[in-house]
Chain A
Amino acid sequence: MKKNFFEGIDLVLLLFTLAILTAGLLAIFSATYTSGTDYFSKQITFALFGILIMLVVSYIPPRIIARSSYYFYILALILLVLVLFFGKKISGSKSWFSLGGFGIQPSEFAKIATILALSNFLSGTDDGFRNVNKPVEFIKACAIVLLPVILIMRQPDMGTSLVFLSMILPVLFWVGLSPYVIFVIISPALVAFGAFLGMNYFMAALAIVALILLLFKRNIFLTAGILVMNFIIGFSVDTLYTKLQPYQQNRIKAVFDPATDPLGSGYNVIQSKVAIGSGGFTGKGFLQGTQTQLKFIPEQWTDFIYCMIGEEFGFIGSVVILILYMTIIFQLVNNSYLSKNRFLSVACIGFSSIIFFHLVINVGMTIGLMPVIGIPLPLMSYGISSLLSFMVMIGIGMSAYRYRNQY
């Protein structure tokens, strides 16, 4: 088994990760050009460190990771409890440990630990994945994810809680959860959203849900029961909403329509749309973006880094960045498909769904398609905890490629 040292390295993941890291560093350099180089030098140091970690992780055999996954998970839960007591409060939530000038976010570590624990649980039998179509197994799998979510909601950090929740369905779908069950879980959200928009949307959403349920051709009574449940949920959303105080209603409205709150959360979205839109086809050029350089968007090197790409590198740059991310996500899914190791197969789906969710929410927010939820753009946004956690995820993704033929 004398192999070339580089054989077995997932070159697609490695090169595309390096490309995104480079783009991110350029963007941070530009965004912080007039406010000092602290951010840039810190981020580049940890990016280099992260590459090393990513490569090291990619060599760790899956058995070792799988065996330690429950310990990581318990450690993560302990850290999440501790941060509630000893964490540093930054803009209203206790999510950080302050260690010698660096902020460390245990929820980032918990992301990886939770996916690994879930993967270990789902791959835990000798003849294939656990059968999550059995209610007991389904509930156990959900509980693994919900435990850290409850703790993170106490911080409170809604964005990260949603990230955790976002991986449940893709992972369960991957291990064999029936599409019908997935649809039954998603449908109330669709109906509730419709109900929020108005009576007509509510009815339309209900009709679509009914149609799709019928297409599944299941027991007619079951289908009718689910439809009634949807109706009740949608109806109570409407009643609950009208019972709220006007200022509470406005807060919810602002999430979906930033124009109603141009000075608060809507401000950034309006500014970021203007910045991206003014980039045009080829952009204004590196360091030439007026919106970026004049800092019309506060702290855009964190959650609003994508609008700097949009302004300075235009439509071409924006689409290229999206393609880089899509390639990484596809490669992770493909690694998952190829991997004979069930543990890594599930883990890769978990990682890709988290990266996908981050991408959709973050980019969607800057281009005005998604509500304002403050979660970082993977590998690009300034922030050490998030950067390192994504690089570990990709490192494990690379190991799935290296050990794809090992059971």
Chain B
Amino acid sequence: MNIKTKRIGTQVLSHLVLILGALIMLMPFIWMLTTSFKGLHEVFVIPPKWFGERLVWENYLQISSRFDYLAYFLNSIKVSVWVVFFQLLTSAMAGFAFARLNFRFRNQMFLLYLATMMVPMHVIIIPNFLQMRIYGLVNTLWSLMIPPMVSAFGTFLLRQFFITVPKDMDEAARIDGCTPLGIFFKICLPMAGSTIATLAIFSFMGIWNDYFTPLIYISNAVHYTLPLGLASMKGMYSTDWPVLMAATCISILPVLIAFLFAQDAFVKGVMLSGLKE
């Protein structure tokens, strides 16, 4: 009896803390959503109201003339899918080589990769910008797609995984005449599913939400990604809060849907990234 009450007590306390936490985390989103359906006059009231008198759908219609959602969304998708795919491919192959192949300067080379992981992205952005200029790619989506095709972090993550795969299997495969490339594709890659998912989620989140890089590279509205499009919208509707919130809402919709569908993959991916070895 005593233990049972205590357990219920703990549960209630836990829920209280967790609900409070959830409120803090979700409040801005709820506020964003309800404000996007208010009239402008309903925004400037004291005390603030959670809901307006009626749902002002017009806010959403108003943005469509200025906020080219579909174009920005497609640009974001294009860049993200391309970058994620190539990061996974290059990281997996190199991670495999670093983990399981013998070649000269392997360890020195890998240390170099590790060292660059500490370099802030702001150190490299300017020369990369100048490089893209030489190739004539500034102000095209390519400038967002090419430099991040290789990731030191991804290489590191995959190498850490491939090291844990028992060696016996590929030794057997080698005796059967299988090439390292064959071992990579047939044995190791299929086992790396969850690590690859982790990396995919990481690079997707980074690329999809990136504001700094497009801010510098892209100057033609045709090539705007969602965050940049939203930022330019913000400059213009600086005081029309409901319209601004409506644009904000639809801009986060794609990741929100992706997250709802793949929550477990996200969670597993993030958890895995923190685990050692």
Q: Report whether chain A binds chain B.
A: no
Q: Which residues of A contact B (CB under 8 A)?
A: none
